[in-house]
Amino acid sequence: MTAPARFITLEGGEGAGKSTQARLLADALRARGLPVLLTREPGGAPGAEIVRNLLLSGDVDWSLPAETLLHFSARAEHVEKTIRPALAAGTWVVCDRFYDSTMVYQGFALGGDRAAIAVLASMIGLVPDLTLVLDVKVPTAVARMRARGTAADRYERLGEAFFTRVRAGFADIAAADPARCMVIDAEADAATVAARILADVEARLPPG
């Protein structure tokens, strides 16, 4: 008997290695013969990509509630049009960021209404089977952003305190929901972190 398709999210601050590890995890699951959809937020469905552009184009300096609602609009489209159909078809879904990112950035780090964000998350109605919270120290994240050549300006603008709040927010979420979340020490090289993640995924979600 084959286990049902699973929904796995990767979370953590900028430069933690989410996109790198999401790709490596999708490759590893495919190598085990599983069908896998690799996707990321915001976006992942036609309407959600339109909302992504609204969020990221820089044309509007969105108010915090509007920004929060746009993230959830994109997410609702992504879940209804892409993620649920994939899971129903037996495809595993690996998603780079999901609602924990909204709770951490718009809630913990920017001071938005966390109770309201929790209600929006429950309205989405889809809970990940497993959330991997990639954790690195702030200087590691900054060094990786610099090496990648992006987002260093964001760091200069927001400052160390912001990134410290982001890290603490993810740690809080993981501590409050250990049945869903695993914190992954992501300081090591990418291959070592990938092996750690695969071992945890196999222990938590045996592919059958």
Task: Give the nearest residue (CB) to Mg ion.
Answer: 19
Cβ-contact 182, 174 below 8 angstroms: yes
Stretch that binds Mg ion, among 14-22, 42-50, 79-87, 189-197 (CB under 5 A): 14-22
Q: Does 41 bind ligand ATP (CB under 6 A)?
A: no
> Could you tell which of ligand ATP, Mg ion, none binds residue 17, using a CB distance below 5 to 8 A set by kind?
ligand ATP
Among 55, 151, 152, 182, binds ligand ATP (CB under 6 A): 151
d(CA 16, CA 20): 9
d(CA 140, CA 93): 28
Q: Is 111 left (phi over 0), alpha (psi -120 to 50) or beta?
A: left
Among 19, 91, 140, 164, binds Mg ion (CB under 5 A): 19
Stretch that binds ligand ATP, among 16-24, 45-53, 75-83, 108-116 (CB under 6 A): 16-24
As a whole number of Å, the end-to-end CA separation of the chain is: 7
Query: Tokens representing 49?
Result: 């990509």
Size of the site for ligand ATP (CB under 6 A): 16
